Structure 1
Amino acid sequence: MPSRGMSAEDKRITVLAMLHESREPWLLKDVEKAASKRGVVIQAVKDVVQSLVDDDLVHVDKIGTMNWYWAFPGEATNKARAALEAAESTKAQMDAEIAALAKGVAEEKKKNPVTAEHEEMSAGLSQARELNQKLHVELETFSSSNPETVDAMRQGAKISKQAANVWTDNVFMMKSWAENKMGDKEQVAQFFKTEGINLNTFDYIE
């Protein structure tokens, strides 16, 4: 079985180590020759060197018509350390921001403890909505019924309408209570809107 070639990362490590060891500038053709002796395919050396330049691990300067490449041993370690410190600083900053946001949310909840009130209003609105749906079903049935059942259903519809208007009273009472409790009419209107009730059009059944 033929031996497996070097991986791309192994090639980078080999070339970079070679430049670190020499501590001198190299021409690309010399890098290719030396790297090929260490197992890097000569045709791949140019791309390997360019990848190291792109990652700022190898420096290149053009002197005259020729490019010279070099790298210092301590630079890679220093760059890694700087990157780690920057990452740690960013993490610390993000942790501080998250803590500040959490504190702000907690303080806001203390100033505006409306969770229980919202639940109470939601429960009342759910009951009103269920009754409203029941009324719509009855009215649809009423409109499609034969004459023999009209009188009986008219009485049932009247009772349902009265019950619906009682719940409409409850909705308006909850609206007034919430506005007095929260002191913010827009917030109350938004709450009812999210529950499917537009206070601008919500009214009694005639």
Structure 2
Amino acid sequence: MSKKKGLSLEEKRTRMMEIFFESKDVFQLKDIEKIAPKTKGIAPMTVKDVLQSLVDDNMVDCEKVGTSNYFWAFPSKALHARKRKLEELQKQISEAKERKESLQNAVKKARVGREDTKERSSLLKELQALRDERTQLQAELEKYKECDPEVIQEIRKSNVVAKDAVSRWTDNVFAIKSWTKKKFAFDDGRINKAFGIPEDFDYMD
């Protein structure tokens, strides 16, 4: 035998609301916990949670008197709640329709001048050709970038720095050669051979 399917939360909520509407009375939680399982088939362990969900949704009123909580809900309240919900939904639908209409108008305006005509097609081809030409010219410009006066100026600055560095190292080599001559009485040829210094080693012009 298949197991009997339990009530969904929405079914429990509906049945609990029937308790209030049919009796038009005020209850304490303990009253609902007795009535709901017997008359509406709501599981005792879920009664409190179902009732609280109805209170949270403002479908059932709750008032604390002394140490006890009292619950009630009249059909008129439910009617007003449904009416407010309906008005809210109608307002949302109206706003959605306005947004839709506004978007449709925006699309229509955006399409003006973009109709698929021979003239537009020709202009689009011309635009693409100009874009291709620009890309080609940029590539050509990149080739001749080294002839740019600013680039040449930077190269000249770099050359000056490099030449100064070469001159410093040349000074150092001659200083070492001079020291070696005095210390060990070597001639230039022997020093050049020992240290791999070219015979024509000299300052750059």
How would you bin the TM-score normalised by the shorter chain? Answer: 0.5 to 0.7
Match of 1:47 among 46, 49, 66: 49
Q: Where do residues 120-199 of structure 1 align in structure 2 (5 Å cutoff)?
A: 121-131=123-133
The code of the aligned residue for 2:8 comes to S
Tell me how far apart the structure 2 counterparts of residues 100 and 114 of structure 1 sit (CA, whole Å).
Answer: 19
The code of the aligned residue for 2:58 comes to D
Q: Give secondary structure in 2 for the equivalent of 1:69.
A: strand
CA 139–88 in structure 1, closer or farther in 2 if over 3 Å, else same: closer
Tell me how far apart the structure 2 counterparts of residues 109 and 40 of structure 1 sit (CA, whole Å).
Answer: 59
2:72 alignment partner in structure 1: 70
Structure 2, gaps ≥5 residues long = 143-205
Q: Give secondary structure in 1 for the equivalent of 2:63.
A: strand
Q: Give secondary structure in 2 for the equivalent of 1:67.
A: strand
Q: What stretches of structure 1 move > 4 A for 4+ residues in a row? A: 100-110, 113-121, 131-140
Q: Where do residues 76-95 of structure 1 align in structure 2 (5 Å cutoff)?
A: 76-95=78-97
Q: Give secondary structure in 1 for the equivalent of 2:25.
A: coil
RMSD of aligned alpha carbons: 3.5
In the TM superposition, what is the alpha-carbon distance from 1:102 to its structure 2 partner? 4.5
Identity %: 34
In the TM superposition, what is the alpha-carbon distance from 1:80 to its structure 2 partner? 1.7
Q: Give secondary structure in 2 for the equivalent of 1:124.
A: helix
Tell me how far apart the structure 1 counterparts of residues 48 and 36 of structure 2 sit (CA, whole Å).
Answer: 10
Q: Quick check: which has more Rg, 1 or 2?
A: 2
CA 98–136 in structure 1, closer or farther in 2 if over 3 Å, else same: closer
The code of the aligned residue for 2:50 comes to V
In the TM superposition, what is the alpha-carbon distance from 1:24 to its structure 2 partner? 1.2
So what's the TM-score if we normalise by structure 1? 0.54
Q: Give secondary structure in 1 for the equivalent of 2:18.
A: helix
CA 37–95 in structure 1, closer or farther in 2 if over 3 Å, else same: same
Structure 1, gaps ≥5 residues long = 141-206
Higher relative CO (CA 8 A, sep ≥ 6), structure 1 or 2?
A: 1
So what's the TM-score if we normalise by structure 2? 0.54
> How many aligned residue pairs are there?
139
CA 124–41 in structure 1, closer or farther in 2 if over 3 Å, else same: same
The reply to whether residue 14 of structure 1 matches residue 34 of structure 2 is no
Deviations 1:110-151 (CA, angstroms, capped at 9, x unpaired): 7xx4777876554223113334556788999xxxxxxxxxxx
